[in-house]
Structure 1
Amino acid sequence: MKEGPDIARIGMLIGDPARANMLTALMGGQALTATELAQAAGVTVQTASSHLSKLEDGGLIAQRKQGRHRYFALADAAAGTLLESIMGFAASRGHLRHRPGPKDPALRKARVCYDHLAGDYGVRMLDSFVARGAITSDGENLSVTAQGHSELAGLGLDLSPPASNRRPLCKSCLDWSERRSHLAGTLGKALLQHFMEKGWARRGDESRAVVFTPEGERQFLSLFPI
């Protein structure tokens, strides 16, 4: 018997088309019901329940209960990072499922990747931070500089994570559509929340797309010039 992490089990869980569609639906960061995930996967609710049980046992999703209702979400940020990385790898090898329609440009421009901004705008944001010295980048390792801390404090962002939070402050995440890195970690999450609290952006209807208002777009492009 071989020792070490069982990547075959994770591959099997993600590799099923119905489960892959469920996980992709959960990449929007929202908790969904079994019925909603059954619709995303194109299966019956009974079949979806079986898939969800396997995903929960495998540590990819977690169940939340609210009254009589049950919701499912990705287990944590690590699961989101894993899925986005696999999407990026698949895209770089030409393994794409193309469904032409109006959502395509919106998703490529700006979308939610678990809890942070992805797409063209997500990549632009990280590129701009690095270009002006607010963040230093060494491959996958990112660090906020003194200048960066000053800029973020000016936006009213508190970069002091709770003691129980083991998630890195900033981390690169491979973007499946741009095939380059965007900003993840607690900073990526805080910035997306900031845009939405300011009213600059909102979640798209039944989509992972992030839609910026005209004023929000002006503010975003001013903050993150290239």
Structure 2
Amino acid sequence: MKEGPDIAQIGALIGDPARANMLTALMAGRALTATELAEAGGITVQTASTHLAKLEGGGLLTQRKQGRHRYFTLSDDAVGKLLESIMGFAASRGHLRHQPGPKEPALRKARICYDHLAGDYGVRMLDSLIAGGAISQVDEALSLTANGEGHLKSIGIDVTGLKSTRRPLCRSCLDWSERRAHLAGSLGKALLANFLDKGWARRSENSRSILFTPEGDRQFLRLFPVEA
């Protein structure tokens, strides 16, 4: 059968080890240069440029110019969702580069997964929201309840604004280190942004870790009291 979408082309683009490493680096949500992505891929800048052109041509990456520099990002949320799904599937089938879970304790505790919170804290947050009735779950489908909407508004989340966007409000994302779900979608993104804006946490410069302050830890555990 030759009709329909060409999944082989997408699979080949993602399946190359260097390209896979570069795409994973972009899961941190930052725009990176070709030099930075070459380092992530373990290849030369010249070779990276060839790979980046292929990824951009395949619709996985986009670039923008700022002065003499070119910065690359994932094309859109759909690419992030695709990579999250592949990472979760690979972990569930035991395809890991190391032992299960990140070696770095900070990365296991809390990290960014494209634009939302993952790791132990990400799983704990979703567990707590479900246990408290803020989010309802039917199989893997998540939805925000009326009580949850009021609760989230009280901590500074613009739920009304989030509902006006085309992006799903709540989405379950398989956490590859915890092997359980954390919260993605526009609500997951807004909650992480809220923690960063309040100064409860900050992004690590050298990894995907989200580093909580002592006060941030206290506030987070108070808001999400269910043990993950």
Q: TM-score range by the shorter chain?
A: over 0.9
Q: Which deviates more, 183-192 or 82-91?
A: 82-91
Evaluate the alpha carbon distance shift between residue 200 and residue 63 of structure 1 in structure 2; reply closer, same or farther with a 3 A threshold. same
- Whether contact under 8 Å (2:163, 2:169) holds in the other structure is no
Q: How big is the shift at 1:171?
A: 0.8
What is the CA deviation profile of residues 142-193 of structure 1, one whole-angstrom value per residue up to 9, with x for unaligned ones? Answer: 1110100100110111113379831111111111111111101111111000
Q: 1:52 to 1:135 in 2, by over 3 A?
A: same
Indicate whether 1:184 and 2:190 are aligned.
no
Superposition pairs for residues 131-142 of structure 1, below 5 Å? 131-142=131-142
Q: In structure 1, what is the Cα distance between the partners aligned to 2:140 and 2:173?
A: 8
1:51 aligns with 2:33: no
Q: Which consecutive unaligned segments of at least 5 residues does structure 2 have?
A: none
* Aligned twin of 1:201: 201
1:159 equivalent to 2:139? Answer no
Instruction: Show structure 1 runs of 4+ deviating over 4 A.
Output: none
Partner of 1:117: 117
- 1:129 is matched with 129
Pairing 1:168–2:168 present? yes
Quick check: 2:162–2:186 contact (8 Å CA) kept in 1? Answer: no
Cα deviations across residues 47-90 of structure 1 (Å, max 9, x unaligned)?
10110111111111111222221100111111111111111111
Normalising by structure 1, we get a TM-score of 0.95
Percent identity of paired positions between Structure 1 and Structure 2: 74
Structure 2 partner of 1:145: 145
Q: Structure 1 unaligned runs (5+)?
A: none
Decide whether aligned partners of structure 1 residues 191 and 162 sit closer, same or farther in structure 2, where only a CA change above 3 A counts. Answer: closer
Q: CA deviation at 1:99?
A: 8.2
- CA–CA distance in structure 2, aligned partners of residues 77 and 103 of structure 1: 27
Aligned-pair CA distance for 1:16: 0.1
Aligned match of 1:93 = 93
Query: Over aligned residues, Cα RMSD in angstroms?
Result: 1.8
Deviation of residue 104 (structure 1)? 2.0
What does 1:76-87 align with in structure 2 at a 5 Å threshold?
Answer: 76-87=76-87
Q: What do residues 31-57 of structure 1 show as CA deviations (whole Å, max 9, x unaligned)?
A: 000000001111111110110111111
Q: Distance in 1 between matches of 2:50 and 2:42?
A: 14
2 CA distance for matches of 1:99 and 1:204?
Answer: 23
What is the CA deviation profile of residues 191-212 of structure 1, one whole-angstrom value per residue up to 9, with x for unaligned ones? Answer: 0000001100011121001010
Aligned length: 225
Indicate if the aligned counterparts of 1:85 and 1:175 stay in contact, CA closer than 8 A: no
Conserved? CA contact 1:128–1:225, under 8 Å = yes
Tell me if the contact between 2:134 and 2:147 (Cα under 8 Å) persists in the aligned partners.
yes
Tell me the secondary structure at the aligned position of residue 160 of structure 1: helix
Partner residue in 1 for 2:39: 39
Structure 1 counterpart SS, 2:211: strand
User: What is the CA–CA distance in structure 1 between the aligned matches of 2:192 and 2:162, rounded to whole Å?
Assistant: 19
Question: Matched residues in 2 for 1:122 and 1:163: separation?
Answer: 21
CA contact (8 A) 2:88 2:176 kept: yes
Give 1:203's aligned amino acid.
R
* 1:114-141 Cα shifts (integer Å, max 9, x gaps): 0000111111101110011100112332
Residue type at the aligned position of 1:183: L
